[in-house]
Amino acid sequence: MSQPVSANLQNRLQWSLFSLRLGIFIVFFMWTLDKFINPAHSALVMKAFYGINGVSDTIFYILGALQLLLVLAFVAGIKKRLTYGIILLMHAASTFSSFPRYIDGFNNLLFFAGWPMLAACIALYLLRDADVKLTVK
């Protein structure tokens, strides 16, 4: 038999989920801005981690615009199953595509920050219905 969740616990859960959403948004927002500010860097990332070469700046501007719409919808809590799910899949792809960097871990320590963020994305996706603090209704 489940016990009712106290108002205090519910409030702390809502603020915790909001902080996860905001933290994930900040990372994705910076990655989005990078596509506009430094498309050459985005091209290097695509080549190094995804094996895709020869992508034009225009494609990165288009991808950046689409990603910007996604991350803004995500941070606003719009269509959570879709936006939180896409963010989770995007970050999972980023984390797993970096796998060779984990083998030489001590020379690539910053890549390990992807794992707790992936855990945060998973937690936020699984608890998306409880994530109601500062969301668009």
- Distance, in Å, from the CA atom of 115 to the CA atom of 132, rounded to the nearest integer, reads 25
Q: Is residue 136 part of a domain?
A: no
In a domain, 3, yes or no: no
Has residue 113 been placed in a domain? Answer: yes
Calpha distance 100→94 (Å, rounded): 12
7 assigned to some structural domain: no
Asked if residue 1 belongs to a domain, the reply is no
Nearest Cα to Cα of residue 110 among 98, 119, 121, 122: 98
Q: Pick the closest to residue 60 from 45, 74, 75 (CA basis).
A: 45
> What's the sign of the alpha-carbon dihedral 89, 94, 97, 101?
negative
What whole-number distance in Å separates Cα of residue 60 and Cα of residue 42? 7
Residue 3 reports pLDDT greater than 90: no
Give the domain range for residue 120: 13-130
Residues in contact with 137: Cβ distance below 8 Å, sequence separation at least 6, in sequence order: none
Q: Where are the beta strands (DSSP E) in the chain?
A: none
Asked if residue 68 belongs to a domain, the reply is yes
The per-residue pLDDT of the chain, averaged, comes to 95
The answer to whether residue 98 is domain-embedded is yes
pLDDT digits (tens, 9 = 90+) for 77-94: 999 999 999 999 999 999
| Phi, psi (rounded to 5 degrees) for 2 | -85, 145
Q: Quote the number of domains for the chain.
A: 1
* Residue keyed to tokens 């992936």: 118
Is residue 97 a part of any domain in this protein?
yes
51-80 tens-digit pLDDT = 999 999 999 999 999 999 999 999 999 999
- Give pTM, 2 decimals: 0.92
Best CA proximity match to 64, nearest among 25, 36, 88, 41:
36
